[in-house]
């Protein structure tokens, strides 16, 4: 018998975060999600990558100061 435990959140990372693995929901700048016309511009992908790199830099700096 399955055990159902609802988790609040609308992303795939919500369940992982609930289980203790932080999963920030990083924007992607995409359009027409989950449709046959879904797309993302190169500029949006570059910006999202820059944000991820900055997050890693901040976490690294925090770990070094601990």
**What pLDDT, on a 0 to 100 scale, did the predictor assign at position 54?**
96
Q: What is the DSSP letter of 11?
A: S
The answer to the question of residue 3 being in a domain is: no
What is the token pair recorded at 62? 């925090």
Q: Measure the CA angle with vertex 49, ends 51 and 54; round to 5°.
A: 35
Mean per-residue pLDDT pooled into runs of 10, the chain (66 residues):
83 87 85 94 94 94 94
Residue 2 belongs to some domain of the structure:
no
Question: What's the rounded Cα separation, in Å, for the pair 11 and 5?
Answer: 16
Instruction: Examine residue 61 and state whether it is found in any structural domain, yes or no.
Output: yes
Structural domain including 17 reads 12-65
How far apart CA 39 and CA 29 sit, in angstroms, is 9
């Amino acid at each position: 018998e399955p055990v159902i435990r609802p988790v609040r959140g609308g992303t795939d990372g919500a369940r992982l975060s609930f289980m203790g693995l932080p999963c920030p929901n990083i924007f992607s700048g995409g359009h027409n999600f989950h449709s046959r016309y879904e797309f993302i511009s190169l500029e949006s992908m570059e910006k999202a990558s820059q944000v991820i790199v900055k997050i890693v830099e901040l976490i690294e700096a925090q770990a070094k100061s601990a």
